[in-house]
Amino acid sequence: MDTSTLQSIDAIEFLKARYCRILDTKDWDDLRSVLASDVVVDTTALGGDRVIGASNCLALFKRNYDKTVTVHHGHMPEITLASPRSVKATWAMEVLTVQPDGKRVLAFGHDHDTYSLRGGRWLITSIKSTRLLMDES
């Protein structure tokens, strides 16, 4: 791999880590900075929604996570550069969710993401979440 490809992969790994931290710390203002304006988030495989646009995604995340403790861990990325300005990635995900009533869900699965280089920085353009196992207690 050439240096440019390695730098892009490193930037995508950093971006996904930042996205997970932002979700878990509920830093909604910062969340907008990692999402493309036309981002698509698809959680239909989890019984959720498919939303288009950064503002709609922010509303979805606030509604789902604002009063909930979450811990998102992304592992073992499979990152493919589709072009110098476009990336596809699949992440093994582990997500712990604790509802205000104490209900806990530990989920394992994958996020299937796309990213675009816009204005000199990488942004998330889509996230499709799938789960293999959800353990509720």
Domain with residue 101: its CATH number is 3.10.450.50
Domain of residue 123, residue span: 3-131
pLDDT tens digits for range 32-73: 999 999 999 999 999 899 999 999 999 999 999 999 999 999
Res 49: pLDDT: 92
- The answer as to whether 75 is a domain residue is yes
Q: How would DSSP label each residue in 24-68?
A: HHT-HHHHGGGEEEEEEEE-GGGT--EEESHHHHHHHHHHHHTTS
- The answer as to whether 137 is a domain residue is no
Res 1: pLDDT: 75
- The answer as to whether 99 is a domain residue is yes
- The answer as to whether 10 is a domain residue is yes
Give the chain's domain count: 1
Res 54: pLDDT: 97
- The answer as to whether 53 is a domain residue is yes
pLDDT tens digits for range 71-118: 999 999 999 999 999 999 999 999 999 999 999 999 999 999 999 999
- The answer as to whether 136 is a domain residue is no
